Each structure stands twice: as C-alpha cells, then as structure tokens.
Amino acid sequence: MPGLIQSFQAVRSPPPQKRPGSCKDSVISLDWHLRSPPDLVRGSVVFGEMLLQVIDKSIEIVSFKGALNLHIKHSEPFKRRCLDCRHQDTKLETWEFLPEGTLLPRGTYKLPFSALIQGNLPATSDTPNTCSSYSLEAEIKVRSTSRPSAPPVTTISERPLTVSALASVTDTPRYSTHAFRPIGVTATADIDPIFQPSEANKASISLNGLRQTASAGGEALWHVRRAAWRLEETIKSTALACERHKRGDAEELNGIARTKTRLLSCKDYHDTWKTSEDGGTAHVEFDFGLNHNTALSRPAKYHDDLTAVGGMEVSHSLVVELVMVKEHRVGHRDKKMLASGVVQVLRIPYKVVLSSTGIDWENEGLPRYQDACLSPPDYVDIDLC
C-alpha cells in the first residue's frame, strides 16, 4: 500500500481534540451511532449511522462530509522541531453524507456509513516511539432558511475508536533446539508461542550431554549453577519526513528507523531443576509472563505484537540465561568430582507473541480428539493368503 505510506508524510494536523456535535444556539446536532462490534480489530468493518437532528424549522446543506482518520504522533520525529514531521494524519475513508443545496425540514435523519480497517494498519497504541489513534469525524455546514443572508453555521462531531491487533501465528506448541558445540550441550525447549498478559504461560527446557567422557579416560559433568529468564519487548518505527523536509535523499525518502528494547519482567528459577547425573540430563518447567514477582520496581507497560505499514513493529522475546559450571574427574579410580573453575554462560532467545485479544481465526490450530496424533497413521501390509 505505497499510497498510504506516502500519505503519512504528506498531511499534518494537530492532535485530535473532542469537539461537541451541537451547541446551545446551533440549528442542528450530530451524533455517531455505531452498529459494529465495540471490539474492533484490524481487518474488520466499522459501520453505523450518522444521526442528524434538525432543530430549526428547515435548513439548507452547504456541505456535509465525514471521514475515518488515523493519527500518528512520533516522539522522535524526522526533524525534532517540525510539527509536520511529528504529527501525521491519514484519511482512510471519506463520505459525503448529503450534497450541497439539500433542504431538510425539522426532524431526525439517519445516514449510514461503513469503512474497512485494513489488516496492515497499526493498532491503537501508545509506545515510546509512536502513538497511533483512530477517530470518526464529521463536519457539516448549514444555512437556516429563515435567515438566508446569515453566514453558514459549522458543526463538527468527533468520536475516537479503539482498534486492536490479533496475533498472526498459530497456537500450536513451538519446539526448538539449540546446540552449544564448544561445551557439547544441547538445549531443547517447549514454549507456548502465544501468551496473554494476565495468565501463566508454560515453558520447559531439557538439557542433554551434561556428562562427557574425556579422551584420557576421565569424565566431565556440567551443572546448572544459576538459571533465569527475562521477557523483552522491542519496538521499531520509522520517522518519515514531511513534504517540506523531503528533498530526495535516500534517508529522507525512507525515513529514520527508531528501535527501542526494554525489559518487561524477569525471574530466577535455579531451584526447580530435575537432574540425572548418570544420564547427563536436566529438565525444568516454569511459568513466565507479566504477572509474576520480578526484580522490577513496577510492572512495565506492555504492547501487543504487531507489524504494520510504515515500518511499525512490536515484538517480544523470552531470553533464557543459564550459568553452567564444569566439574571433572581425572581417572576411573577417582570417585569424587572436582571443580575445574570453568564457567560458561548460555543465552537462548525464543520468539514469543504477546496478545491480549487472541489470535486470528485463520491461524487457529485444528482440533485434536482423544489420542489422535498430529501425523497420518501408519499402514501395515497384511498378507491375506
């Protein structure tokens, strides 16, 4: 949608403000009546009626238009002191409710409207990089037929909208394996790919190859001395230049990329490992999320994962950190493991998706019944002779 990206940097207006749809001396009043579900998501349709109440005996329409607006405010714009670079508005849909010259007697009129909120648009958010908001705005200019020489009366009605983003990944468990060749240890993880901020989210990690045989006949054993996880949020955006500061350079045409990474929560879990020294394995199961006791002074403000037009992206990662200590035994006669003084720190990042609204129905996993497996059944040839 290149036209939409260009429109972000072409139009500027001050931040939207609430303005009344009628006043004491007005000859009309406006009101937005939404019939679409209150929980709007990207890819849904917003529809309803614009209610026009004529208070005067009769009026003449000079102009009557409406629009669905997307307002984006950059905390670090392309040019710091330029309001055109900081505030960028896009009219996603426009309507002409009534043509010029229409005569309306006293009464109430319902004018339908509808608009598609495309799936590649940003959701309503307030991140350290950008603030995105939606609003319905109508402007009407009328002239009273009893005072035809009087100037037209202008009335503006505005209603904010909240648009959420659904997760665009499947809800099936995600398995991943990391091999640390320098020490010969393999980590296998089973993590819920989608987690909600108010629920406990499951994760498990298994370590293999902790017991190793040396070439001289000795043995080495790795122990988990400390283990911790932390949840990080990465916010990316692109500060586009306005028409006044866009001169044709590659940087000015593509904008300036902004990236910020912050810590949402963290916790240690070193006391819950189940180890087998003979088998050289270790296993742990833990919960992660935003509702746990963490080392942070206050809960961090979070945002749902999203990828939108204009370079806006919010992603999350679960980083597991393991502090491994090596013990060794020189020969078969030695029964006691001795500390070697070797310490290795293993950092394993896992991509997870934060969603407070759920997942897109197109990405929902197929239902599973009883003992049905995920793969097709095996068929065995039987000789009937």
Strand, helix or coil at 14? coil
Q: Which residue has the higher pLDDT, 122 or 372?
A: 122
The percentage of residues in the chain with a pLDDT greater than 90, rounded to a whole number, is: 35
- Is it the case that residue 165 has pLDDT exceeding 60? yes
What is the per-residue pLDDT for 145?
A: 87
Q: Comparing 28-164 with 175-354, is the CATH topology the same?
A: yes
Encode pLDDT of 216-259 as tens digits: 667 888 888 888 999 999 999 999 888 888 776 655 667 889 99
Q: How many CA atoms lie within 13 A of 190 on its CB side?
A: 10
Mean of the per-residue pLDDT values of the chain: 81
What count of other Cβ atoms lies within 10 Å of the Cβ of residue 340? 12
Encode pLDDT of 247-303 as tens digits: 766 556 678 899 999 998 888 877 678 888 788 899 988 888 886 555 555 556 888
- Is it the case that residue 110 has pLDDT exceeding 90? yes
Q: Which residue has the higher pLDDT, 9 or 350?
A: 350
State how far the Cα of 258 lies from the Cα of 237, in Å rounded to an integer. Answer: 5
- Is it the case that residue 167 has pLDDT exceeding 90? no
DSSP lists the bridge partners of residue 60 as 103, 143
CA gyration radius, the chain: 30
**CATH, domain 175-354, list 2.60.40, 3.30.200, 3.30.460, 3.30.70:** 2.60.40
- Is it the case that residue 4 has pLDDT exceeding 50? no
What is the per-residue pLDDT for 92?
A: 94
What is the per-residue pLDDT for 1?
A: 44
DSSP string, 284-299: EEEEESSSS--SSSSP
- Is it the case that residue 19 has pLDDT exceeding 90? no
Domains in the chain: boundaries: 28-164, 175-354
Q: Domain 28-164 falls in which CATH fold?
A: Immunoglobulin-like (2.60.40)
What is the per-residue pLDDT for 302?
A: 85
